[in-house]
Structure formats: C-alpha cells, structure tokens
Amino acid sequence: MSILESIASPADLRRLPVERLPELAAEMRTVICDQVSRTGGHLAPNLGVVELTIALHYVFDFAHDRLLFDVGHQCYPHKLLTGRLPMLASLRTRKGMSGFPAPAESPYDLFSVGHAGTGISTAVGMARGDSLLDEAWNPKTNPDGRRVVTLIGDASIVNGVAMEGLNNAGTLTRQFLIVLNDNGMSISHPQGALSQYFDRLRLSHLYADFKRGAHRVLKHVPGGSLLEEAYHKMGEATKAMIAEGAWFEHFGLVTVGPIDGHNIPSLIEFLAEAREFDRPMVLHVKTVKGKGFDFSEGDATAFHSPKPFTVEGCSVEVRSSGRSFTTAAADALIDAMDRDEKVVACTAAMPEGTGLDAVIKRFPDRTWDTGICESHAMDMMAGLAKAGLKPFFAVYCTFLQRAFDQAFQEVSLQELPVRLLLDRAGLVGGDGALHHGFCDVALLRTLPGSCVMAAIDEPSLRAAVEFMRAYEDGLSSVRYPRDSVSDVLVDKHCPAFELGRARLLTEEQRDADAVVLAFGTPAIAALEAVQMLREEYTIEVYDARFAKPIDAALVRSLLTRDTPVITVEDHSLIGGFGAAVLETAQEFSLDTSRVTRLGLPDSWIHQDPRASQLAEAGIDARGIARAIRLAAAAADDQFAPPHKAEHQV
C-alpha cells in the first residue's frame, strides 16, 4: 500500500514522520498528473501546492479549524488528504470528485469557490463569526478554539475584492493567517504593478536587520502598537523572516517571508509558529506552478487546465477536439482589427482561455490583459469607447457577472458601444456549476439599448463580430460555448446580422407541425432533432440570433399560425430568450399556450461532460426531439386532422 492510500483523513497524515512527507508529495503529484491526463482538469495549479497543502494539514486540524480557498482550482491535494482518493478516478463527473472545493463532498470544504478574490473576505466573516460565538482560538481564554487560514494564489491577490478583504483583515484582533501562494503566475503571466512588486521581492537578509526593520515598520503602521506587541510573541524563525517594508504592512498585517513553498520541514516550522500567533498575518510562500514535471513547469500556462493528454518520453500531446469557438472568435477579432484600426481588445487574466493570446501577439499595442479584475476591464473599455475607439472585451460568460455594475453604470447608462465576446456561455462541462454561463442574457437584457446575440457556428460568429464592430448605439454582446464549432451548415451561406432579425435554417413550411426558435448553438441540436423526426413531422428551425431586440415580427407571425413553437436556449429559463418571447407575445396580446420553453432549470447542474449536462437539461437533440413530439401530439389531440392520429409520443 502506498503512503497516500493509507491516508483516510488528515489525522493519518499527522501520524507520519516528517521525513516521509516528501515521498507522499511525489505520490500525490503522480496520481494527480495521471488522472488529469485522462480526464482533463487543473494540473499546474495543483502540482504547485502539494508540499504547502501537506504542511497546512500537518500543522492545523481543519476538522476543527477553518481553511478557506481562493479561486479553488488548487484544491486537489487538499481533497486527496481529506479522504477523497477513491473519488479521483471520476474527476469532474457527477459521481466523482469536483475540480473545486465542494461542501457536498466533505465538511473540509467550506465554500464552493471558482471565482477569484473571495477567500480573504469569507475568511474574515468566519473569523468574526467564531469570535462572536466564543469559538475563536485565544491562547489565554480559549486554547481549544478555532483558527482561521485562507489560501490565496495565482495572482488573485490583485483582485479588487481581495483588496477589500485585506483592508478588513487588518482590523481583526485575533489569529488570522493569509497564506499567499506566490508562483509568479496567474492563469497566464500576471499583470500590473503589484505583480511587478512581487517579482522584485527577494528573501530578506540577516535576522538583526529584520528585527530592527520590523520595529521601525511597526511604529508607522496603523495599529502598530498591537503589532509591536504581537511581534514579541512570535517565534524566532518567524521574527527572522519579517519582511521589512512589506506591502501588506500598510493594511496592518505582519508579513513573513517569502519562504520556500516546497521545503516541507521549513513550511511546517513557520506554520507551527504562525499557528500560535494571535494577530493577522500574511505568510508569503514562493512556489513553482506545475512543480514536479518538466512539461508542466516549462509551460504552466498551457498546463493550467489542459484537455486530456499523453506523455511519451520528452513529448506531450494534448488531445484535440476540433476547432473551438474560442479560436474562431480570436480569428474573427484579428480580421476586424486588420480592417479597422479603431478596434481594440482586452481580457481579464484569460488570454489563452479567450484566444486573445494570438490577438496580443498580432496587435500588442491595441490589446491588453488587465489581470484578474473584470470590473476594471469593463470600465477601461468604457473609457476607450468614450475616447472614440471600438473596444471588445473577451471574457468568460460567468466572469461577466463580476462586471455587471460597470456594464450598467459606465457603459449602458453612458450609451457607450462596448462589445462583449462571451466565451464559455451556457453549460461548461467538468468545471460544473461554478463556471456555467447561465444568466448573461437575463442580466444584459435589462440594460436599455443593449444588443444581446448568440452565435451557432463559426460563420455566424464572424458575422456577429462584424455586426458589433459597426454597432455604435450601446452595449452589444455575443455568446458562444466551450465547444467545437459545427460544420453542419458549412455549405450554406451565412447572411449578415441585421438588428433584431432571426434566420431560417430549414426550408419554409407554412403547414409545419412545429417550429423551433433556437438561441445559440441549440439551433444545431434542433437541426439534428429534425433529422431524427423527418419521417414523422415537418419542422421549421430558426436561428433567433437576437435575444434583444427580439424578432417581434417573427414571434407575432409564428403565434398566429396555430403551430406549436418550441424555444430552446443554453441559458436559464428565468429571464432568458424564451422569457423574451413570452414578453413579446404579451405585448401583442397573443396566445402563448402552444409555446414550450426549453433551457436550463431553476436548479444547479453539477460537473459532468457537457454532453451529459445538455441531456440533463433536455436541450440536446434527443431532448428537443422529445419536446417536439409532445408539443405536436398535444396539438394533434386538439386541432389536427384525423390523418395525424398515428403520431406517437
């Protein structure tokens, strides 16, 4: 039995001698890499925190103490040490281990987290809560109380929410440990002045210099008297590593380090001292993202969250799944920038994920990566639009939510033409509920003057980007999934986008048994459903193209034909495209009793392959075919002539 197989809980870990822990770390890296090579998942972030996670669980008892993650995609080692090795074989599937902290899996996971910057704030909340309930650790009054630790990394510290958390953490008068995992990386290379500060930071000099420097710093820091007192309570190792003039001192936080995040004995020593420190502290830990394998250390960005891959000797081959919407969007943007020098673009820490890495290489002076700060990026785009440029913001659909206030205040209210390329729209597969893009339509439809679109394939996406380039009347967006582009319509001409006009994808059938009005890539699934039912029904399929402004003339026409209408979207039914159809019908006082809406339910759809998630929501080809049968059969029962009675549900 391996060491890892013998660990059912962190209590088993703490029974191991320290000298066995590097062997355990090697085993953990091997099983993580083997599994991710089969299923995909977050590789480099997890490989980089193996020793750090071991040391944290070795020193603290997180069955009692609090451990909160920021971002969460570095949690695999934590899960392996908390009894979830048997779940690893089904990583990122419904029956297996989630790729992010998941309270439903284990009491060791306190929050489901997948967006950056939140860990410090939630930890401050738990620290305050424990204090109010008299459960907080205090060396004198409650030595058996709870300690609080939050782990933040991958450049999340530059996020605005993290800054707000730090500002409040410094006001605590109890134990509170922030472990800064500084791997010199975000998803890609970190951006901004703060990241440059960390690049310059080096290990400190002599203990005497630190001691003098610490006293000098403490005298000028708000709350310095408390820190001065706390300084005397530190262990010698921690005192010797106080970072003189550290940036975090300005928040009232004692800063220790940086220390080697792969030296387990050293980590344990510092964490053991930090465990007994009764004031807020930042422990700055230097790690190597992708640690343990040459290919992941050499290209931590590519192996941040790779698709399944194979390793043969010195070569690594990532499994290809066809041309992606992401690549298609980047190429469309490059084409627009080639033809129009006013087009500019940005992303928020996702150049590879959104395809903008290729755009940055081509147009380095007109494309920016702002780092993990979607709100800033949206406001910056507003400024560029106000200056007379044509800005495109490429952002994951789920991360758009973090910039909605800016989309409202600085973009829509000012009637500025900022353009949103919404990658990863709808169901995203293995990342699960944390990253589903399920509410962008509902959010953006509320903004006066907004133009909300969806693409169904690459020609459609290119046409949408070209429409947005010329659209100057306000905020515009186009959504597309984390998937390969379809070639079903490759032989058909894709007409240009016209504001508020849908596109008929099939032959016109005035006596059709049903009409499918699809928003986005479910239109392709609807065409597949038509093929399944071609011997039974005649069906029209429309690519709606716009959720706002909706094709009101088409809706009015369809709902006056006594034909069942099925709307389908890879978005929440609440506030989505189908809801827009019903609202439009109400405006015309039309009967909606024959409208069936398909979309994401009012419940969470957790990690699984995207195809399984689409089937669960009933918006794959079979689900759409089933809905057509039901709608047509209901119409037959009430209105259809006798020759249709043989149609079966």
Per-residue pLDDT of 54-95, as tens digits, reads: 999 999 999 999 999 998 889 999 999 999 999 999 999 988
What does the pLDDT read at residue 1?
82
**CA separation for the pair 30, 36 (Å, rounded):** 10
CATH classification of the domain holding 629: 3.40.50.920
Name, in order, each residue with C-beta under 8 angstroms of 266's C-beta and a sequence gap of 6 or more: 259, 260
What does the pLDDT read at residue 212?
44
- Find out whether 54 and 12 touch, Cβ atoms under 8 Å: no
What does the pLDDT read at residue 192?
52
Same domain, 192 and 248: yes
Element (H, E) at 541: strand 539-543
616 located within any domain: yes
Catalytic residue selected from 105, 374, 410, 569: 374
**Domain count across the chain:** 3
Same domain, 360 and 470: yes
Element (H, E) at 419: strand 419-423
Q: Is 528 a catalytic residue?
A: no
Q: Is 289 a catalytic residue?
A: yes
Q: Which of 286, 302, 335 is the last residue of a domain?
A: 286
Residue-wise pLDDT for 173-205, tens only, equals 999 999 999 887 544 455 555 555 555 443 333
What is the average pLDDT across 466-489?
A: 97
The total number of residues written for the chain in this structure = 649
Q: In this model, does residue 486 exceed pLDDT 50?
A: yes
Q: pLDDT above 70 covers what percent of the chain?
A: 88
Q: Which of 259, 286, 313 is the last residue of a domain?
A: 286
**CA separation for the pair 341, 336 (Å, rounded):** 9
Same domain, 462 and 607: no
Catalytic residue selected from 79, 84, 279, 289: 289
What is the average pLDDT across 310-322?
A: 75
With 0-12 CB in 10 A as exposed, 13-18 as middle and 19+ as buried, what is 479?
A: buried
- Find out whether 109 and 434 touch, Cβ atoms under 8 Å: no
Residue-wise pLDDT for 259-315, tens only, equals 999 999 999 999 999 999 999 999 999 999 989 888 888 888 788 888 888 887 666
What does the pLDDT read at residue 646?
33
What does the pLDDT read at residue 235?
65
Tell me which residue range forms the domain holding 145: 4-286
pLDDT category, 318, cuts 50, 70, 90?
confident
490 located within any domain: no
**Segment 84-87 long-range contacts (CB within 8 Å, at least 24 positions apart):** 85/4, 85/5, 85/7, 85/31
Catalytic residue selected from 84, 92, 146, 402: 402
Q: 423 pairs with which residues across the strands?
A: 396
406 located within any domain: yes
**CA separation for the pair 539, 506 (Å, rounded):** 8
| Phi, psi for 415 (deg, rounded to 5) | 60, 45
Q: Is 374 a catalytic residue?
A: yes
Distances (CA, A) of 216 to 234, 235, 576, 621, 639: 16, 19, 58, 69, 87
Same domain, 187 and 54: yes
With 0-12 CB in 10 A as exposed, 13-18 as middle and 19+ as buried, what is 392?
A: buried
The better pLDDT of the pair 154, 294 is held by 294
Residue-wise pLDDT for 242-260, tens only, equals 665 567 777 888 888 889 9
The torsion angle over the Cα atoms of residues 324, 330, 332 and 338, rounded to 10 degrees, is -150
Same domain, 331 and 255: no
297 located within any domain: no
What one-character DSSP code corresponds to residue 182?
A: E
What does the pLDDT read at residue 322?
85
Same domain, 256 and 332: no
Residue-wise pLDDT for 562-613, tens only, equals 899 999 999 999 999 999 999 999 999 999 999 999 999 999 999 999 999 9
The better pLDDT of the pair 517, 290 is held by 517
What is the average pLDDT across 29-50?
A: 92
- Find out whether 210 and 239 touch, Cβ atoms under 8 Å: yes
CATH classification of the domain holding 439: 3.40.50.970
